[in-house]
Chain A
């Protein structure tokens, strides 16, 4: 049983996704139970795997007992397990949360379908992270994406449909580029196994075909992770999807995309390839990541819809992740990996709070947050923690990753990156302050209508239901826990980074 844990990570959600529509016909709540139990089991499996990985270094699982490179190999190393835990944890939390949230935000009767597609989405993400076969990675990438298109389109607003269609078009173009890149690598090496590609590619570094493959991967993955000029599908997709979906996608999908980027850059091509030619290929990513950090923050400042604001801020945060990757140093990579966890916690938490606000008040624009500090104190406390983390206040997770990224930029002598990080943090403070200001320092609009003169009456406390509050608060508390006990994720990230940059 223990031996088969890596594949169970995929089998459990996949089979549950098939059972759910049937179970949903019997009783609609049953589908929620199955989804939550399935994601819960995945989380437990990932913890067990973490234990094994810490003991043994890496796990190799031969699918169907076929020896790689003939068969498909699943590899779980420090990097994979790091991302697996993020994804399974968020998936579990969002699953608990969606019980109430989904009731309101999608059409009644669609709930079983939603949970089935949601589990397919998680299946794909798990597959991407554990597979050691590059074509298998493409297939799982498409499973995730197709499920993602459906999850966005399930939103009630009609704009969700157009947002989803745009994502279909751009996501498919990105995936096709990746497919073509895989074709070029196969053409040159005759293998699809990542470990074997790592060994065979160094002799082929000088060929144009390998360079072309790199370019195709770079564009394809950048589309998937929404790196700045290719980010246009993201804001509307996050804004019009149901809140639970926004939270799950913001916290997992782009993280796994970043995982793919790290895998392709460091495991398959290797650092020596990136610095092999006349120009350092990582500088291309560096250039775009700096633009992404600044543009994402600037665009976020001008938004009036809170979900769009968070979405644009995600574009900026992806910039941070790519920035750390493109520095090609251990510290930078630690910063990137820790930021994957941190951003998953803070952005996941923020979207969960927004979902709670939508559940209670139905509004998503920033003005609608007026006076919520009294009405929904626990949710708003969670929001404040998330916002502080996003800004990068010490003792929160946001500070840890920004610290590592700043130190990494100094280590490689790029001091001019510090003002970039600083300006972006200030802009983050600006756009979150607008919301915090509304929450705590302005009163709700309906108040003057009561005519009690000077507003002495108590605002009734009316917070979100416990099903929503528990996951939201858990995620927010972790924002602080990992801000203080940062050594745990950092130690794991360091082990991964050292191996990747070898």
Chain B
């Protein structure tokens, strides 16, 4: 048991991070904090991908002469794409929050929902 925790610690960190982010998305009222939670949630998955690409004793996948052990570059490239996606989502989310602040004067979800109720 101890060994699993010690040798696979990056996967444990991935789980803890992912759930921390998930909790923040669901429990926080502040919209910015929700976006931060969303970011942590996504980053945890990136960590998972990078962990599974790691080869024991591997180096960066750069072409050098001679036989070398290198990490699997594919998940790293995938995550490069996923990071771009994540940044775009964050940008759109922050832009929407900006507009929400202009329209409602607050970014607390409970207050906004309260205002929406009065509007209907």
Binding site for B on A (CB under 8 A): 135, 138-139, 142, 146, 149-150, 153, 158-159, 161-162, 164-165, 168-169, 172-173, 175-176, 179-180, 183, 186-187
Q: How many A-B residue pairs have CB under 8 A?
A: 72
A142 touches B85 (CB 8 A): yes
Binds A, one of B1-9, B63-71, B98-106: B98-106
Binding site for A on B (CB under 8 A): 22, 25, 31, 34, 38, 41-42, 45, 48-49, 52, 74-75, 78, 81-82, 85, 88-89, 92-93, 95-97, 99-100, 103-104, 112-113, 116, 119
Give the residue name and chain of the A residue nearest to B97 (CB). A165
Contacts of B42 in A (CB 8 A): 172, 176
Contacts of A159 in B (CB 8 A): 116, 119
Given contacts A139-B81, A179-B45, A183-B45, contact A162 B100 (CB under 8 A): yes
Q: Provide the main secondary structure of the chain A interface.
A: helix
> Nearest Cβ distance between residue A52 and chain B, in whole angstroms?
30
11 pairs, A vs B, C-beta closer than 8 Å: A139-B81, A142-B89, A146-B92, A153-B96, A165-B93, A169-B34, A169-B93, A172-B38, A173-B38, A176-B45, A186-B52
A169 touches B48 (CB 8 A): no
B104 touches A169 (CB 8 A): no
Contacts of B52 in A (CB 8 A): 183, 186-187
Give the residue name and chain of the B residue nearest to A191 (CB). B74
Contact partner of B100 (CB less than 8 A), chosen from A161, A176, A183, is: A161
The CA-CA distance from A169 to B49 in the complex, in Å, is 22
Q: What are the nearest 4 A-B pairs in CB distance?
A: A158-B103, A142-B85, A161-B100, A168-B93
The CA-CA distance from A418 to B60 in the complex, in Å, is 60
Contacts of A187 in B (CB 8 A): 52
The CA-CA distance from A172 to B86 in the complex, in Å, is 9
Contact partner of A158 (CB less than 8 A), chosen from B41, B74, B88, B104, is: B104
> Nearest Cβ distance between residue A256 and chain B, in whole angstroms?
17
The CA-CA distance from A168 to B74 in the complex, in Å, is 28
The CA-CA distance from A168 to B97 in the complex, in Å, is 11
> Nearest Cβ distance between residue A149 and chain B, in whole angstroms?
5
B85 touches A168 (CB 8 A): no
> Nearest Cβ distance between residue B87 and chain A, in whole angstroms?
11
